[in-house]
Structure 1
Amino acid sequence: MIKNRITLYIDMLFCLVIMPLAIMLLPVDRWIVNNTAFLIALVAYVYILYFIYRIACIPKLFMQKRYLRIFVLMLVLTTVTEMFTYFPMPAEHINDDVRQMVAKMNIRRQTIWFFFLVVTGFSLAIELTFELFRQIISRQEVEAEKNKAELSLYKAQINPHFLFNTLNTLYALVLSGSDKTESAFVKFSGILRYMYSQNESELIPVGDELDYIHQYVDLQKLRLNHHTEVQLNVEASSKKVLIPPMILITFVENAFKYGTSSDKDCKIDIRIKIDENKLLFETENAVMRKPEGQKTGIGIQNCRKRLELLYPGKYELYNGEKNGIYHVRLLIDLKK
Structure 2
Amino acid sequence: MERVKKIFVLVHLVLWTLFTMLASLQLSSEGDRWPTLTTGFILTCLLVFYGNFYLLTSYSGKKNRKAYYRKLIAIMLIGPLPFVYLHPRAFEEWENPYGYYLMTLVTIVPVFTFLGWLARITENLVLNTIKKEQLEKQAVEAELHYLKAQINPHFLFNTLNNIHTLVYKQAPAAPEAVLHLSSLMRYMIYESNSATVPLSREMNYLQDYMSLQQLRYKNSPVVDMEVEGDITSGHIAPLLFIHLLENAYKHSPARLEPSAIKVRVTLKENTLTLSIENPINKISRNTLEEPGGIGLPNVKKRLALLYPDQHSLEISSTDELYNVTLVIHNLQTQVHEREAQLLYN
Task: Return the TM-score normalized by structure 2.
Answer: 0.79
Conserved 8 A contact 2:81-2:101: no
The residue that corresponds to 1:122 in the other structure is: 115
The residue that corresponds to 1:97 in the other structure is: none
The residue that corresponds to 2:284 in the other structure is: 290
Deviation for aligned residue 1:331: 0.6
Deviation for aligned residue 1:186: 3.7
Q: How many angstroms apart in 2 are the aligned matches of 1:39 and 1:112? A: 17
Conserved 8 A contact 1:287-1:326: yes
The residue that corresponds to 1:71 in the other structure is: 69
Task: Return the TM-score normalized by structure 1.
Answer: 0.80
Deviation for aligned residue 1:287: 0.6
Matched, 1:319 2:315: yes
Q: 1:78 to 1:192 in 2, by over 3 A?
A: same
Deviation for aligned residue 1:8: 3.3
1:134 to 127, 151, 160: 127
Deviation for aligned residue 1:240: 4.2
The residue that corresponds to 2:190 in the other structure is: 197
Report how many aligned residue pairs link the two structures: 323
Q: How many angstroms apart in 2 are the aligned matches of 1:75 and 1:297? A: 67
Q: How many angstroms apart in 2 are the aligned matches of 1:199 and 1:320? A: 30
Q: How many angstroms apart in 2 are the aligned matches of 1:74 and 1:31? A: 34
2:264 to 256, 265, 271: 271
2:201 to 196, 208, 218: 208
Alpha-carbon RMSD across the aligned residues, in angstroms, is 3.5
1:330 to 326, 332, 343: 326
Conserved 8 A contact 1:59-1:124: no
Deviations 1:113-170 (A, max 9, x none): 3211221222222221111110110001000111111111111111xx1x30343355
2:78 to 62, 70, 80: 80
Identity of aligned residues (%): 22
> RCO greater where, 1 or 2, for CA within 8 Å and sep 6 or more?
2
The residue that corresponds to 1:21 in the other structure is: 22
Deviation for aligned residue 1:209: 1.0
Deviations 1:218-237 (A, max 9, x none): 22223124498420111241
Which AA in structure 2 matches 1:93?
E
If you compute each CA radius of gyration, which structure gives the higher value, 1 or 2?
Answer: 1
Q: How many angstroms apart in 1 are the aligned matches of 2:307 and 2:194? A: 16
Structure 1: 5+ residue runs without aligned partners?
95-100
Structure 2: 5+ residue runs without aligned partners?
334-345
Is the partner of 1:271 in helix, strand or coil? strand
Q: How many angstroms apart in 1 are the aligned matches of 2:195 and 2:84? A: 66
Deviation for aligned residue 1:206: 1.3
The residue that corresponds to 2:337 in the other structure is: none
Matched, 1:235 2:228: yes
Q: 1:192 to 1:291 in 2, by over 3 A?
A: farther
The residue that corresponds to 1:47 in the other structure is: 46
Which AA in structure 2 matches 1:48?
L
Matched, 1:223 2:208: no
Q: 1:83 to 1:202 in 2, by over 3 A?
A: closer
The residue that corresponds to 2:336 in the other structure is: none
Q: 1:230 to 1:37 in 2, by over 3 A?
A: closer
Conserved 8 A contact 2:45-2:112: yes
